[in-house]
Amino acid sequence: EIPSSLAQCSALQDLRLSGNMLTGPVPEWLGELRALHVLIVDNNKLTGEIPPSLGELSRLERLFLSDNMLCGQVPVEAFSKLRSLAQLAIGTRPEDDRQEQPESVVAYLEAHGLWYPEGGNQQLSITATGQAAVKAAVQPSCLLWWPAVVG
């Protein structure tokens, strides 16, 4: 699990826990770390839904959640508040059967204008696995990057 002791680090700006075999849900209390600029928890075994509390991280520039076992819908409120977001990595493991999840995220981003966040960065770099990468690649208004091998 993501250590709950990190909840006490209110001035924390950069949290990188990639590839640590972390399990359990993405904790709601991460949304209380308002100084965060970077939250990288990709390549773990995190489960459950993306907590809406991440929308409170108004300074967040990089959010990497890919290569976990997350499910459910992306909370609309959360992503619409992330005005400083420049890099977003989302998606499932290539061997995961739930390939529709990344596609729904790309559809959400398109529907809510997060390619050009108002008052924020002019380009949003998105990493998506599965067919979402192919779909999003046709969007001229975003800079898209993903792993070299896309399933």
What letter does residue 103 receive in the DSSP assignment? H
Are the C-beta atoms of residues 124 and 142 closer than 8 Å to each other? yes
How many of the other CB atoms lie within 10 Å of CB of 56?
A: 18
Q: Give me the number of domains the chain comprises.
A: 1
What is the percent of the chain with per-residue pLDDT over 70, rounded to a whole number? Answer: 58
Q: Which residue has the higher pLDDT, 120 or 13?
A: 13
Residue 151 within any structural domain of the chain: no
Q: Which amino acid is at 72?
A: G
d(CA 131, CA 99) in angstroms, rounded, equals: 7
Are the C-beta atoms of residues 106 and 79 closer than 8 Å to each other? no
The pLDDT of 51-62, averaged and rounded, is 92
The H-assigned helical ranges of the chain are 76-80, 100-111, 131-136
d(CA 75, CA 73) in angstroms, rounded, equals: 6
Q: Which residue has the higher pLDDT, 106 or 8?
A: 8
Residue 139 within any structural domain of the chain: yes
Are the C-beta atoms of residues 104 and 72 closer than 8 Å to each other? no
Residue 40 within any structural domain of the chain: yes
Angstrom CA distances, 88 to 2, 4, 17, 56, 117, stand at 20, 24, 15, 16, 13
CATH number for the domain spanning 79: value is: 3.80.10.10
pLDDT at 135 over 60: no
Summarised one tens digit per residue, pLDDT across range 62-112 is: 999 888 888 877 776 677 788 888 888 876 544 444 444 445 555 655 665
Residue 150 within any structural domain of the chain: no
**Please, which pLDDT band fits residue 31 given cuts at 50, 70 and 90?**
very high
Residue 61 within any structural domain of the chain: yes
Give the angle 141-88-113 at the CA atoms, nearest 5°. Answer: 40
How many of the other CB atoms lie within 10 Å of CB of 15?
A: 16
The pLDDT of 125-145, averaged and rounded, is 38
Report the pLDDT value the prediction gives residue 89, as an integer from 0 to 100: 81
Report the pLDDT value the prediction gives residue 110, as an integer from 0 to 100: 60
Residue 149 within any structural domain of the chain: no
Q: Residue 24 is part of which domain span? A: 4-144
